[in-house]
């Protein structure tokens, strides 16, 4: 039969976990603060009435046969971005978000947070919007530092998310033990 740890050993383990929990929390407070605030904002993005992420508008046709060629729509989006927002903005695309069921496309640009929504069939401008959600996502996952420092393949994001995920795991384990440890100690006789 396995011998249970004594009350003294349990108290020592509890003190160690409390110290780890306190030091980790103090060192990572600012990171946890930004992760929590940006996470709350991202959770609310679809319910922000277009402030955090632009509302998706509807085009005239959901039938892809009726749509203009993609390269024509892309040229139109680029022209609109330069004419309506700023001629100084980069035209490099992050992605084209095709919303067939809404009859529209979103052209999301890489080096800034603007999007252009076009009707797939007519090419008509449906919306020009600032994607604040992309900024908050970059803050949340640490890739804002990759953007700012122009790293080649997101290595800061990988290190940051690994470190913060590990810290959260450590917080979960030590926090559970800080809750459960005293209950367990009460059952152990001196």
- Sorted by where each begins, the domain ranges of the chain are 7-44+140-187, 54-130
Is 106:97 a contact under the CB 8 Å cutoff?
Answer: yes
Is 102:59 a contact under the CB 8 Å cutoff?
Answer: yes
Q: Where are the alpha helices (DSSP H) in 44-154?
A: 70-80, 132-141, 143-149
Q: For residue 21, what pLDDT is reported?
A: 82
Which DSSP helix (H) or strand (E) runs through 169? helix 155-187
pTM for the complete prediction?
0.76
* Alpha-carbon gap, residue 155 to 81, rounded angstroms: 30
Half-sphere exposure of 143 (CA within 13 A, CB side): 11
Is 102:57 a contact under the CB 8 Å cutoff?
Answer: yes
* Beta-sheet strand order (sheet of 104-109): 93-99, 104-109, 114-119, 125-130
| pLDDT band, very low/low/confident/very high, at 75 (cuts 50, 70, 90) | very high
132-141 and 155-187 helices, crossing angle to 10°: 60
What secondary structure letter does DSSP report for 83?
Answer: I
* Alpha-carbon gap, residue 130 to 90, rounded angstroms: 15
What sign has the CA pseudo-torsion 126, 132, 133, 134? positive
| pLDDT band, very low/low/confident/very high, at 5 (cuts 50, 70, 90) | low
Structure tokens at 6: 């004594």
Q: For residue 6, what pLDDT is reported?
A: 75
| pLDDT band, very low/low/confident/very high, at 20 (cuts 50, 70, 90) | confident
What Cα–Cα distance (Å) separates residue 134 from each residue in 51, 80, 112, 150?
A: 12, 21, 9, 17
| pLDDT band, very low/low/confident/very high, at 161 (cuts 50, 70, 90) | very high
Check pLDDT > 90 for residue 19. no
């Amino acid at each position: 039969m396995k011998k249970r740890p004594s009350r003294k050993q349990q108290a020592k383990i509890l003190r160690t976990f409390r110290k780890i929990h306190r030091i980790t929390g103090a060192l990572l407070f600012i990171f946890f603060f930004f992760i929590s605030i940006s996470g709350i904002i991202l959770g609310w993005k679809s319910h922000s009435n277009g402030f955090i992420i632009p509302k998706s508008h509807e085009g005239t046709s959901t039938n892809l046969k009726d749509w203009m060629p993609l390269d024509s729509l892309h040229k139109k989006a680029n022209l609109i971005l330069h004419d309506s927002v700023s001629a100084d903005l980069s035209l490099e695309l992050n992605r084209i978000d095709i919303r067939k069921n809404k009859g529209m496309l979103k052209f999301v640009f890489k080096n800034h947070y603007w999007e252009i929504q076009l009707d797939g069939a007519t090419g008509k401008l449906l919306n020009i919007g600032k994607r604040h959600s992309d900024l908050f996502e970059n803050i949340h996952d640490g890739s804002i530092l990759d953007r700012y420092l122009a790293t080649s393949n997101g290595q800061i994001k990988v290190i940051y998310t690994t470190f913060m995920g590990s810290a959260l795991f450590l917080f979960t384990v030590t926090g559970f033990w800080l809750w459960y440890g005293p209950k367990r100690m009460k059952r152990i006789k001196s």
